[in-house]
Amino acid sequence: MVTQEIQDGIIIERGEKPRGHFKALFLDYDPAFITLAEVDLALSSLWAMWDGLRKGKAPDLPSDHPVDPEGFQVMLGFGQRFYDDFEGEVTHRPHGISDRWRFLSPGARVDRSILPGSGLRYAPEVSHNAADVPIFVQFTADSELAVQRAHRETIRYLEGVLANEGKLHIKTSANGFGRSDKRSWITFHDGISNIRKGELRRQVVGIKPENAADQVWSLNGTYCVFMKVSVELENWKVLDQRRQEMLVGRTMFSGCPIISVDSNGTLITDLRCPVPGTKEVIERGNERFREPPDAVPEIIKLSHVQRANHHRQPFFRVDSRRIYRQGFEYLDEYDARVDVGLNFVSFQDDPDRTFFILTQPGWLGNVNFGGDPSTNSVGEENLLSVLMAGNYFVPPSTSGERFPGSSMFEPLIA
Amino acid sequence: MFKAPGGLNELSNSLLQIWNDQIQAQISRQLADGLGSRFFVSNPNDIPGGLEINGVKWAGAPAEPGFCLDRIWAQRLSDWGVRGRHETQNEYCEYVVRYAVDSTGRMRPKRIEFTSELREYWVLLAEHDPDALKRAAKDVLGSTPSWSELYGHPDPKSLTQQQRRIAFGFNTAGHGNYQDMYQAGVPGQPSGAINRENLLFMTHPINGLDDLIYVVMFGATPYRVMEGGVPRKAFLQEIFRQFDVEQLACRNADPAAAAGPYNAVWDGRSVAFSSNLGMYLRPINIEQFEYSGSQIPDEWIRFSRGQDGMYQRLSFGPSDSDDAFLDDIFILQGASRVKISGGFQVAELLEVGPLVVVSAPSSVEEDDYQEIAASPSPINCREARVCQTMRDLKSEYENSLGMMSTGTRTLSRAGSF
């Protein structure tokens, strides 16, 4: 019996441990100089190598000298360019891969927004969207060595081991790390109202019969939305704590949700949070305060946490607009300049969940981060900028396939 | 207690009292059937310092043809004129495309009219105050209709109140699932042209005040399940399953309308309908629409029939005095740029919902919880009974156009992803 499961590298079940290290590879080719068969061959070999790493088999060591895989996981996704470049040859095209769920190029709109109606814009120095690639690979592991080794071996394979002649190559990559303190570069807690592990997370992530329609082969596949988001900390630091808390929707230190503003302008939090004996909302006993309440005045509704999640149910319906976030922070250095931010990674059974959030009024449409875009300061409307963004179909792990999605290459490939 | 929907000033004091009586009667009926809990309050004035929230909302586009078939068919069927409206537009948001002749003599879509006005409000006017009905209709249409156009009768004032109710039902409102209307032979949808071609208010039988009251009260109980001896908040699908109304979980309106009060009562908050009881259309993002290479003019998005935050009508597209047409407008989503061909594309971006009032949080006592069975698995909406109706509708559509279907993607991709 054929089985289809959500790929590794996406934390679904209780007991699965999130990895602390992240690497994304963006693979590209020139479609004029590569065939589908060559892509298939390359991916087959790479997947075998990556699977070896997952099992402790380093390519440069004999099998009786295993390495500690250190929780290494690999996930493979396909962007729209793959389906466009091989249209007519690829047997399957998933519903959620189309221009409707494709990020714009940086110059497409005068305001450089990533999507029509979004308040997120490409950074001024970005001239093209480097994440608009045919193949996306995510490595996660418990150590930096494990992800960097996988990166290095991928380079070695593409440049030497495979008779690739450089046709398939790594266009760019992204590094990242998890934070055990559940905070982000702006100091506030981040991702704490994420969907809990287990059945509900699975219902958000995995493509179900309802989404799949006639595409049975996509069941338990998912879509990965990736954005490398740079945070302009200088714009953030000029804001006082109260203003920051207003924009976020949580208190800075405890992470408790802001629920009101009194007549003096003082922000009011739920007095029950954090529970006695604790200091932060991430501590045991504070679970009910991690999801901000619905019943808040309009001014609080404009905060980031309220805009991003409207607490709708049931989660398995796309209209709930719930997504599962599995992002990683980053710090890059170029020319003595340090850039910090977030590798935003979300998984959902339909990319419309995320694209709707990013573009609709009352959600994150028209606003850069939080607050009211018509009254926000220039700095507040330029807190975040995007370096690259992509939407990828992540095929299910299907028994008998050479790599996730390999059936797309058949029956053309003998 | 309850004002006219939208804050409109169309009801006399006596009519306002009748409106309140009707709402209370609906609430009392549901309470008698065991819905609600101590947290549901009939009178919003009984929540001192209550906070009015607008967070209960959902996408206005029809959900059923989408989850039963696919998005392409959802768009085709929902945009299929009066037939589509009557069969699919049941998310408290109905629409009609207005047509006009262009300079070449071709009939083209001019604009879309959306409404979320409740049928019960208009029937109230029709029964009790025909002159007020005429004024409201003029407000919507821009001109005063005749009695015959509204009632199918030249002199409704000569009829009894009940006779006006039935006549209006036949001609303009449909039966709305009300028993007296059924028994009088009123069909589900009206036969008169005025609300078929002009969109006065919603007529789909489940876009009613009674269903709205039902589902909000349905959600206003702190349900919980025991898993491994540990209590947890019940998921919405578990609640719908418990009460054998799984099909409601597949729609947009019902889960959202239940979830809002449900989240509130779990926080120990009392919940009531806002005194501005009605169904309201939310803002849409003008940046997603383009005409002649630029953003569409502001005046092509015209909300009406209510005060700010409580609009019940949206006119999207050029007015009659404008030379442009609806299909000159492009909808921008992601990297796609697609001509607008009907209302569904805009309805996908239009959220709708009521206003509710909640109290400050308090404690939930052990006796307040209602325990139900744990059943967290998703509901397979494609197995819902309504899907046979959608498949039949699809066949009817194909037959009407002489199409032959060999698969869901063999037809043209007009307006698809």
Contact check, Cβ <8 Å, B55/A320: no
What per-residue string of b and e applies to B114-136 under the rule 16 or more CB within 10 Å gives b?
A: bbbbbbbbbbbbbbbbbebbbeb
Predicted pLDDT at A411: 62
Query: Which residues, 6+ apart, have CB-to-CB distance to B86 below 8 Å?
Result: B188, B189, B203, B204
Q: Which residue, among B93, B274, B287, would best test binding to A if mutated, counting the most A CBs under 10 Å from its CB?
A: B287
Contact check, Cβ <8 Å, A313/B235: yes
CA of B383: which chain A residue's CA is closest? A210
- Directed axis angle between helix B71-78 and helix B81-88, to 10°? 120
pLDDT tens track for B7-32: 999 999 999 999 999 999 999 999 99
CA of A213: which chain B residue's CA is closest? B70
- Name chain A contacts of B282, Cβ cutoff 8 Å: 361-362
Q: How far is CA A256 from CA A112, A288, A305, B224, in A?
A: 34, 10, 11, 24
pLDDT tens track for A290-319: 999 989 999 999 999 999 999 999 999 999
Contact check, Cβ <8 Å, A270/B361: yes
- Name chain A contacts of B407, Cβ cutoff 8 Å: 214
Closest CB from B237, B336, B381 relative to A98: B336
Task: Name the minimum distance, in Å, from the CA of B4 to any CA of chain A.
Answer: 23
Whether B417 shows a pLDDT value over 60: the answer reads no
Residue A238 near residue A175 (C-beta atoms within 8 A): no
Tokens of A117: 């109606």
- Name chain B contacts of A359, Cβ cutoff 8 Å: 285, 288, 333
Predicted pLDDT at A337: 87
Predicted pLDDT at B194: 95
Whether A236 shows a pLDDT value over 60: the answer reads yes
ipTM summary value: 0.94
Predicted pLDDT at A214: 87
- Name chain A contacts of B378, Cβ cutoff 8 Å: 203, 208, 210, 314, 316
| Backbone torsions φ then ψ of A41, nearest 5 degrees | -65, -45
CA neighbor of B361 nearest in space, from A319, A404, A259 = A259
Over residues B321-330, mean pLDDT: 97
Over residues B123-134, mean pLDDT: 97
Percent of chain A whose pLDDT exceeds 70: 99
Q: What residues 270-309 of chain B have any CB closer than 8 A to a CB of chain A?
A: 282-285, 287-288
CA gap A295, A116 in Å, rounded: 30
Whether B203 shows a pLDDT value over 70: the answer reads yes
- Name chain B contacts of A316, Cβ cutoff 8 Å: 237, 378-379
Whether B414 shows a pLDDT value over 60: the answer reads no
Whether B407 shows a pLDDT value over 50: the answer reads no
Residue A331 near residue A339 (C-beta atoms within 8 A): yes
CA of B283: which chain A residue's CA is closest? A361
* Residue A176 confidence class, pLDDT cut points 50, 70, 90: very high
pLDDT tens track for B39-63: 999 999 999 889 999 999 999 999 9
Predicted pLDDT at A163: 67
Whether A166 shows a pLDDT value over 80: the answer reads no
| A393 in contact with B, Cβ within 8 Å | no
Query: Which residues, 6+ apart, have CB-to-CB distance to B115 below 8 Å?
Result: B93, B94, B95, B199, B200, B201, B202, B305, B312, B313, B314
pLDDT tens track for B75-89: 999 999 999 999 999
| A379 in contact with B, Cβ within 8 Å | no
pLDDT tens track for B278-321: 999 999 999 999 999 999 999 999 999 999 999 999 999 999 99
Contact check, Cβ <8 Å, A319/B256: yes
Whether B169 shows a pLDDT value over 70: the answer reads yes
Sequence-ordered strand ranges (E) for A62-214: 73-79, 135-141, 169-177
Whether B134 shows a pLDDT value over 70: the answer reads yes
Report DSSP state, residue A10: S
pLDDT tens track for A86-111: 999 998 899 999 999 999 999 999 99
Cα B391 off chain centre by? 22
- Name chain A contacts of B259, Cβ cutoff 8 Å: 311-313
Report DSSP state, residue B406: S
Arithmetic mean of pLDDT over chain A: 94
- Directed axis angle between helix B119-128 and helix B13-32, to 10°? 130
* Residue B403 confidence class, pLDDT cut points 50, 70, 90: low
Closest CB from B249, B349, B358 relative to A295: B358
Residue B91 burial (C-beta neighbours within 10 Å; 0-12, 13-18, 19+): buried
Predicted pLDDT at B247: 87
Whether A85 shows a pLDDT value over 80: the answer reads yes
* Residue B402 confidence class, pLDDT cut points 50, 70, 90: confident
CA gap B259, B216 in Å, rounded: 8
Q: What residues 355-374 of chain B have any CB closer than 8 A to a CB of chain A?
A: 358, 361
Question: Tokens 């990020």 map to which residue?
Answer: A103
| A120 in contact with B, Cβ within 8 Å | no
- Name chain A contacts of B411, Cβ cutoff 8 Å: none
Size of interface A-B (CB pairs under 8 A): 144
Q: Residue B202 CB: number of other CB atoms within 10 A?
A: 29
Predicted pLDDT at B412: 32
Predicted pLDDT at B404: 55
Over residues A326-349, mean pLDDT: 95
Predicted pLDDT at B416: 22
Cα A32 off chain centre by? 30
CA of A259: which chain B residue's CA is closest? B360
Report CA Rg, chain A: 22
Task: Name the minimum distance, in Å, from the CA of A336 to any CA of chain B.
Answer: 35
Over residues B139-167, mean pLDDT: 97
| A149 in contact with B, Cβ within 8 Å | no
